[in-house]
Every structure is written in structure tokens, then in C-alpha cells.
Amino acid sequence: MDAPDPFESSPDETRTEMMKATYDALQKHGYSDLTIQRIGDEFPKSKSLIYQHYDGKDELLVAFLEFLLERFKADVPTDGFDDAREQLRMIVEYSLGSFDSNHTDFLGALTALRGQAPYDDAFRTQFADTDDFFREHLADIVRDGIESGVFRPVDPERTAAFVVATINGAQMQRVTTGNDEPVRAARDELSEYIRTQLVVEEEP
């Protein structure tokens, strides 16, 4: 058996490098000026590898969207919370709290790809799946909270849909206006809504 070539990276590593190159090219040029050529310029290996993996820009970008959305799902805080109230609080804080520039860049990339979804079935399907995932995750938290007695007996699906819409809108506003203040105001009111509408009043 041949020893593996230490300089040959795994298919997964090559894929990750292509995704990184696409991300870097997007940050540098924006979505409308994104070309395979420019993605290739950010790719450390031979550009021809990109064409071996993807039929063209459209197919590469669908894979890129899938990659970003997998990252998004993996980043949703899921474990290690005392109770549903704390878990929901952390999700709001993580989604609408202070961002570093990496987080802003990431949401900017997702927003750019969202902008294609009205005209692209494959993008629409992926965003529908991701929004469903996030909403179902929140609905599960609300159901847990109701069962364990920390939340009132609200409609979990409706509450989750509302929270997801608010988070999606505020995040989009942040990266498309550069204006943080309305995002903070929306977050404060969302926290107040959770405190007064969802959380069972504690004994005085």
C-alpha cells in the first residue's frame, strides 16, 4: 500500500479552501461583482480544481450557501443552559448583542445570498430550510419552558415565528444600514416582550 501523499489535502480540506476563497472574494468585491476568476484569485491551489468540483459560478454559490447555512446552524447556542428562559435569553443576546467584525461579515454574506433568493429556487429552498430549523429550535425551547413551568402556556410556533422574524429583521437592518441603535432598541423591546409575555411572573 502506498503511503499517503502528505501534500495532497483531503477532498474536505479542498472544499473548505474553496469556500474560504469564495467568502474572501465576496467580502472584497460584493456579490454582484463576484466572478469565478476572482474566487480563483483567493484560492491557494490551481483554479482548475474549482471547475473540477463545480460546473460554474451558480453551482459553486449554491454549495457556498449550503456551507454558510451549516455554519449558521452549528453556531446556534443549544447546550449547557440552566433553563429555557436562560437559553432563549442567550439566543437573543448572541443574535442581536454586540458583534465583532467576523460576525458582521458572516451576516453580510448571508444577507447578500438572501438577496438572490427571490430569483433562485435552490436558494429559496435552502433559506426556507434554515429558517424552519431556527424556528423549530426556538419552538422547542418555548415548549420546554412551558412544560417546566418557567413560561406561560403560549402558542410555541407562533411565538417562535415572531422571535425569528424580529431577529432576522434586526440583523438584516444592522448589516444593510450600518446603524446599530435601532437594533439595540429592537433587542431591548424583544427582551421586554419575553419577560412580560412569556416568562411566568416570579413570586415577589
User: Could you list the residues that contact its own copies (CB under 8 A)?
Assistant: 26-27, 29-32, 34, 107-109, 111-120, 123-124, 127-128, 131-132, 135, 155, 157-159, 161-162, 164-173, 175-179, 182-183, 185-186, 188-190, 193, 196-197
Q: How far is the CB of 63 from its own copies (least distance, A)?
A: 15
Three-state secondary structure call for residue 151? strand
Q: Give phi and psi for 151, each to the nearest 5.
A: -110, 155
- Cα distance between residue 57 and residue 59, in whole Å: 6
Q: From the DSSP assignment, how many helices (H) and strands (E) are in the chain?
A: 9, 0
Q: How far is the CB of 78 from its own copies (least distance, A)?
A: 20
Nearest CB to its own copies, comparing residues 87 and 159: 159
Nearest CB to its own copies, comparing residues 32 and 98: 32
- Cα distance between residue 72 and residue 64, in whole Å: 12
Nearest CB to its own copies, comparing residues 40 and 108: 108
- As beta bridge partners, residue 199 has 151
